[in-house]
């Protein structure tokens, strides 16, 4: 009798252990399927970022890419088995809708990424002894559990055994190249000037006055970040976060935000514009010159390709628009250097929105830059990636304030301020960034929705669990 009782007990224990073991295996597969699904989102974002690089960028290579018209919808899909694993990832990236999925403020395309991550289930294809477990995990033991109008349906294939799939839908939005007050690939040096770095939003009357910086409405988004490992903050009063890539921040006693060392954000290099046509009325600037814009952006009449800009003495380059100050646009592509010396000056007239792409070096001295609009978003400077990594620099200075947004991730940027009145309004992105004599840097948060697209950010995430 003893042997019988002990045998029964042993049998029951083995049965229980087997059930729990099987449940543990199924749970593990269920958890790993989510990793697979989220990896699919990463794959989609990687391709979206690759497509931002100058051509050829190999974006979407190996994917099934289709475009339908009326409505115009772009679709990219991929099904892949992760090497050396049994993990399957299916990804679909689409533009959803040609109108409603584009930000009306800046024309940026949002993207929807739908993924299915699938993992096989080891062991016998048996359900667990708890129906709530089954309701949660939806294991596909003998038929596919996600069918009937659910997200990214898939049939139960005859060549696959018991498995579990998890489905995630994410929406990503573009992130601006001007997402921080200062971003550098290498060192940021604020040169011990006790600089004040803060932010305002020229588009929000609660965070600015008349669209201009107001110290009483100071915001704390003056973030500084480097892909390198050193920020010489120089006891700056930084109203924002400070971030390095496994590095250190010296003189950071006055940082209001967080200080982190896990930052890395590869700036997208700027490619040379590939305009089909442009305005050839001005091809080089060596004397006082006026370049006029157009009320419509992106037209050939408002685009100019210049070999260089080299002004000295009291000469000026005026970028003019409509006489009444209504919005107008100018794009300059300078294949050589830009230089202002003596008392020369770059003047941006009211209402003119300027983008300057430059291939060479930039040296702005003299009377510097007069941005009549006092809006950094109206003067955006983009440094084109030099061929063969030739060292390039941008030196901005001159009398008065600097109101501009500079994105030149392959250029060493030095900004020379004007002492106690040395205010810079805008955003600076460079290979290295050095502030000489600048005592105030005010980041305009409006820039975070303008400029180049530098990355993508997940703004919505939903796992289907029905």
Residues 139-168 that bind other proteins (CB under 8 A): 149-151
If the CB atoms of residues 116 and 348 are measured against other proteins, the closer one turns out to be 116
Question: With binding defined as CB under 8 A, does residue 173 bind other proteins?
Answer: yes
Paired tokens of 31: 């958890």
Residue number with CB closer to other proteins (314 or 460): 460
Measured from the CB atom, is 109 or 250 closer to other proteins?
109
Contact of 347 with 308, CB cutoff 8 Å? no
Minimum CB distance to other proteins smaller for 12 or for 421: 12
Which span sits near other proteins by CB under 8 A: 11-19, 71-79, 273-281, 414-422? 11-19
Which token pair is 130? 């708890």
**Residue 266 sits in the site that holds other proteins (CB under 8 A):** no
CB of 133: closest distance to other proteins in angstroms? 6
Judge contact between 25 and 122, C-beta under 8 A: yes
Q: Cβ closer to other proteins: 123 or 161?
A: 123
**Which part of the chain contacts other proteins (CB under 8 A), choosing from 55-63, 105-113, 261-269, 288-296?**
105-113
Among 11, 14, 18, 20, binds other proteins (CB under 8 A): 20
Q: How many residues bind other proteins (CB under 8 A)?
A: 42
Q: Are 62 and 78 in contact (CB under 8 A)?
A: yes
130 touches other proteins (CB under 8 A): yes
In this complex, which beta carbon is closest to other proteins, that of residue 97 or of residue 266? 97
- Rounded distance between C-alpha atoms, residue 403 and residue 252, angstroms: 26
User: And the tokens for 193?
Assistant: 């000037």
Beta carbon nearer to other proteins, 261 or 463:
463
Contact yes or no for 363/32 (Cβ under 8 A): no
Residue 13 found at the interface with other proteins (CB under 8 A): yes
Per CB under 8 A, the list member of 14, 81, 253, 459 interacting with other proteins is 459
Instruction: By CB under 8 A, tell whether 457 contacts other proteins.
Output: yes
Q: Which is nearer to other proteins, 174 or 365 (CB)?
A: 174
> What are all long-range contacts of 96-99, with beta carbons under 8 Å and residues at least 24 apart?
97/71, 97/73, 98/71, 98/72, 98/73, 99/71
How, if at all, do strands 453-464 and 163-176 pair?
antiparallel
Closest of 153, 149, 148 to residue 118, by C-alpha: 153
Judge whether 410 and 390 are in contact, CB under 8 Å.
Answer: no
Does position 9 bind other proteins by CB under 8 A?
yes
> Which residue from 16, 46, 215, 323 is in contact with other proteins, where contact means CB under 8 A?
16
Does 5 bind other proteins (CB under 8 A)? Our answer is yes
In the complex, which residues of this chain contact other proteins (CB under 8 A)? 2, 5, 9, 12-13, 16, 20, 23, 27, 96-97, 100-101, 103-105, 110, 112, 130, 132-133, 135-137, 149-151, 169-171, 173, 449, 457-466
């Amino acid at each position: 009798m003893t042997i019988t009782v002990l045998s029964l007990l042993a049998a029951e224990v083995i049965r229980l252990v087997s059930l729990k073991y099987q449940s543990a295996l199924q749970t593990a597969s269920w958890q790993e399927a989510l990793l697979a699904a989220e990896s699919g989102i990463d794959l989609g974002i990687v391709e979206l970022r690759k497509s931002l690089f100058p051509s050829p960028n190999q974006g979407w290579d190996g994917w099934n890419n289709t475009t339908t018209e009326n409505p115009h919808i772009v679709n990219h899909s991929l099904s892949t088995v992760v090497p050396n694993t049994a993990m399957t990832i299916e990804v679909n990236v689409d533009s959803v809708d040609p109108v409603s999925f584009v930000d009306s403020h800046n024309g940026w395309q949002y993207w929807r990424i739908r993924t299915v991550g699938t993992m096989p289930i080891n062991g016998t294809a048996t359900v667990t002894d708890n129906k709530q477990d089954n309701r949660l995990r939806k294991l596909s033991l003998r038929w596919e559990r996600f069918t009937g109008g659910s997200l990214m349906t898939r049939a139960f294939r005859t060549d696959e055994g018991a498995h579990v799939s998890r489905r995630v839908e994410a929406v990503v939005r573009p992130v601006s190249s001007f997402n921080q007050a200062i971003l550098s690939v290498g060192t940021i040096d604020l040169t011990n000037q006790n600089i004040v770095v803060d932010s305002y939003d020229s588009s929000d009357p609660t965070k600015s006055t008349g669209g201009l910086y107001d110290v009483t409405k100071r915001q704390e988004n003056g973030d500084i970040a480097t892909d390198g490992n050193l920020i010489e903050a120089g006891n700056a009063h930084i109203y924002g976060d400070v971030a390095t890539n496994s590095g250190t921040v010296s003189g950071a006693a006055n940082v209001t935000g967080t200080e982190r060392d896990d930052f890395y954000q590869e700036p997208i290099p700027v490619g040379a514009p590939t305009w089909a046509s442009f305005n050839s009325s001005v091809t080089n600037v060596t004397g006082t010159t006026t370049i006029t814009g157009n009320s419509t952006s992106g037209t050939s009449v408002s685009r100019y390709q210049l070999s260089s800009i080299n002004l000295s003495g009291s000469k000026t380059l005026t970028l003019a628009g409509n006489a009444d100050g209504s919005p107008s646009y100018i794009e300059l592509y300078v294949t050589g250097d830009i230089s202002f010396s003596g008392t020369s000056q770059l003047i941006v007239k009211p209402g003119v929105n300027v983008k300057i792409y430059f291939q060479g070096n930039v040296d702005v001295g003299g009377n510097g830059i007069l941005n009549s609009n006092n809006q950094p978003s109206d003067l955006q400077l983009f440094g084109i990636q030099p061929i063969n990594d030739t060292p390039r620099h941008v030196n901005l200075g001159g009398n008065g304030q600097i109101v501009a947004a500079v994105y030149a991730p392959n250029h060493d940027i030095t900004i020379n301020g004007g002492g106690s009145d040395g205010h810079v309004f805008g955003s600076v992105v460079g290979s290295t960034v050095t502030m000489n004599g600048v005592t105030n840097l005010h980041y305009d948060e409006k820039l975070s929705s303008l400029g180049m697209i530098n990355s993508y950010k997940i703004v919505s995430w939903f796992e289907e669990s029905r």
